Chain A
Amino acid sequence: MGCASSIPDKSAGGLNNLDNGGAPDAKNLRVKLVLLGDSGVGKSCIVLRFVRGQFDPTSKVTVGASFLSQTIALQDSTTVKFEIWDTAGQERYAALAPLYYRGAAVAVIVYDITSSESFTKAQYWVKELQKHGSPDIVMALVGNKADLQDSREVPAQDGIDYAEKNGMFFIETSAKTADNINQLFEEIAKRLPRPSAPDS
């Protein structure tokens, strides 16, 4: 609970504004993150929570809900700017996904714990990325809507097992209660390969 507190407050404000596409370096990473998953699993809710949760919710600096960016600061004083690419989850757009995940450093694959169908779909995306994604892509498996325990269809253990088998990071979140949302992105940031540049 209360995950927002785990992110230092100073991380958000200034850094975002400073960004004008300047060259990324070892201390300030810029990362393309693609969101995959069935429609209706709450992909964009997770991102909105992550991006707006730490901000004034009325601020409308961002253009839309399908592309959002957010910078977080890590304990080792590096910053990671996530550029989050949402994809349309409907089946008819599945063939377009490669256009979006090309060049992505991170893929977050989301399913809805109350829908085993969406979990099957998530596994499809994992396989697809293993085949066609860039080989060093960081993958996270996310079971969303964890607040709806009563209608759970996918046991947490299934997610854990599947993620472990595929070398992924796994977490259950609730975009509604903001549970684990920040942990998700923080954990991803920690797992990013760092450019081996000398400290300056």
Chain B
Amino acid sequence: MDSASTQSVTFFDFLDRMRNPASLDLVRSIKSFIVSFSFYTANPENDGKKVQDFFFTMEAAIRDHPLWDGASIEEIDSAMEGLEKYVMTKLFSRTFAPLPEDVKIDQEVSEKICLLQTFLRPEHLDIPAVLQNEASWLLAEKELQKINAFKAPREKLLCIMNCCKVINNLLLNASMSENVVLAGADDFLPVLIYVVIKANPPQLHSNLKFIQLYRRQTKLVSEAAYYFTNLVSAKSFIVDLNAKSLSIEEIKFEESMQAARLANKVARVDIKALREERGPGPSGRIHDNETNTSGGCSYPYMEAEAGELTVGDVERLLSVYKDVVTKYTGLCRAVRHVPVTKKVPPAPHLEGTDVMLTQPAAETSTSMDSQKR
């Protein structure tokens, strides 16, 4: 498979051709197809078939089109890749995990993986020591975790292929350096399963379903189909996984799962309790950064008028104030260390809370500065 960069070039090429007045008929078909989707409620099996049929018709239309006169098989193919990407990006919100069932399965898979992560060891899948390579596994995990960064089925599939390639390289290297016989799928699948559990890729079920339904059928064949099937099979193994699926004592397995469930619950209660107890105060320090960017709720006085405040608010107001100042000074220190060679890129997360955050903080700090002087 070609790299992502050449693909983006061909995608722009596709868009370019679509801007050509000569392709008006194609553009019309594409647009009316996309619009036609909004008339009906989502029905994955049907929708998948409709999209595949559309790709099929369009391939014939492109092949006969004057704009592609004398084009090679590769050029037609890259136009089709462009079309797939364009159509599926437009239809993404309608076609990706459209049913509540899908959302639920995604959640269940992810939760089960969370539990397994707490105790599963490579030995439980009888992965031989020569294949236990944290660095390789991490690379493979990262490839899988990228899957939601893309909307086009082809690019999602590419994440899976890349993950599998990393694992294959690990197997090949092991067989060369350690004089171990290559054991093919006997070695490959356990490592893939372990990597999937470590990675806990987002919306695994929905991503697989999406690729299955919307990747052009002529492309989900051969090697791509094989590695795709392996991930489907890894997911299926994880969903059905019990003590008998692993080299582990049944009691040990049940205990570990129970402990993991309990720990999970405690963690959830903790967070909830903290939120309730401390109110929407400077909870960002305790939680991870995600809570920080979750919106204006961390700074509840942004809309408040002076007259509305009561003595009871003082404590919270003070803690919010301290939080803001700490963050601001931290930010200043960080900014000072940014090299000024290039223009400073706008920090992408300066949205929502953070924008609101900087303004009052700026005032506070100027007043502090003036006090010092």
- A interface, CB within 8 angstroms of B: 20-22, 35, 39-40, 43-45, 47-48, 60, 63-67, 69, 83, 85-90, 92-93, 95-96, 99-100
Contacts and interface: CB of A to CB of B under 8 A. Distances in A.
B229 A44 contact: no
Contact of B182 (A35, A44, A87): A44
Given A63-B223, A65-B172, 6 more contacts: A44-B186, A63-B168, A64-B165, A65-B175, A66-B184, A92-B244
B233 A47 contact: no
Contacts of B222: 21, 69, 83
B294 interface: no
Contacts of B186: 39-40, 43-44, 88-90
A2 to B, nearest CB: 23
Nearest to B183: A44
A66 B168 contact: yes
Contact of A88 (B167, B171, B182, B189): B189
The A interface is mostly helix, strand or loop, or mixed, namely mixed
B185 A66 contact: yes
Contact of A96 (B164, B181, B223, B236): B236
B260 interface: no
Across the A-B interface, give the 3 residue pairs with the lowest CB-CB distance, nearest first: A44-B184, A64-B168, A86-B185
A85 B226 CA distance: 7
B218 interface: yes
A64 B164 contact: yes
A67 B229 CA distance: 11
6 contacts: A65-B175, A66-B184, A88-B188, A92-B245, A96-B189, A99-B232
Interface in B152-189: 164-165, 167-168, 171-172, 175, 181-186, 188-189
B184 A93 contact: no
Interface of B: 73-74, 126, 164-165, 167-168, 171-172, 175, 181-186, 188-190, 218-219, 221-223, 226-227, 229-230, 232-233, 236-237, 240, 244-246
Contacts of B232: 99
B223 A65 contact: no
A100 B222 CA distance: 12
A99 B236 contact: yes
Given A20-B73, A44-B182, A99 B168 contact: no
Given A21-B222, A40-B186, A44-B184, A99 B73 contact: no
A65 B165 CA distance: 11
Given A20-B73, A65-B182, A100 B229 contact: yes
- B167, B175, B226, B230: which has the most chain A beta carbons within 10 Å? B226
A20 to B, nearest CB: 7
Given A21-B221, A93-B237, A88 B172 contact: no
Contact of B184 (A47, A95, A100): A47
A66 B188 contact: yes
Contacts of A85: 226, 229
Contacts of B189: 66, 88, 93, 96
